[in-house]
Structure 1
């Protein structure tokens, strides 16, 4: 299911790639920079600190087409090869509040079902829908990356 939940949002996507490759895209810095940036945004390698290990903080900068920058930070909470990644994120690095994102990967046939949940405390429904749209863009790019 893709939609709003009482706690936040959830998105399901079937991707025609093995779970190991999809997991790699979620946990390898070079891949993260591609899908997190999508086709519209640059995530410069020199402003990316991204090592997927539990307890490790990560940082990334998005450079928007108009030149504005969004600074992201979070922490990896769980990294289970080929099946699960849990991390936090925020675009307000000075604020200690972080949204938790849970990614579950389930093999099916020749591909992988990706299930993403993100907590969205205090988000109105229109902001939740915008967050879903953002993830859809991420997953479109991730899908192209892992099936190329």
Structure 2
């Protein structure tokens, strides 16, 4: 409807048309504009590793994975005789390494050491690397080495 046609309409029709147009405008304001999709979504939770997007680059692996496990596994493999078990596995340095470990991996490493010693008939002392201490998750600073350097 153009302005010329609007003037030609009777005043009752003009009022009705004005009422309809204003109702449409008011209903559009009540509904409101639609939010963009990226605003309407909730943010996803962030993980420890940020995928190399700057910064540090995520969490470092625990020391058990890259420091203690390879050392203990290497020591167990090097101890290939009864003398090797006594000279390599049952030493103060090995015990100190074991006492620095997490209690769960210290227990696992203890099983490996005992198993290797049993292969060659060597007895592992009961107090070695605090294997006898209960509770097993006793804090590391409370563990005492059994072999003096």
Query: TM-score with structure 2 length normalisation?
Result: 0.23
Bigger proportion of residues as strand: 1
Q: Which has the higher helix share?
A: 2
Query: Highest relative contact order (Cα 8 Å, sep 6+), 1 or 2?
Result: 1
Provide TM-score, normalisation by structure 1: 0.23
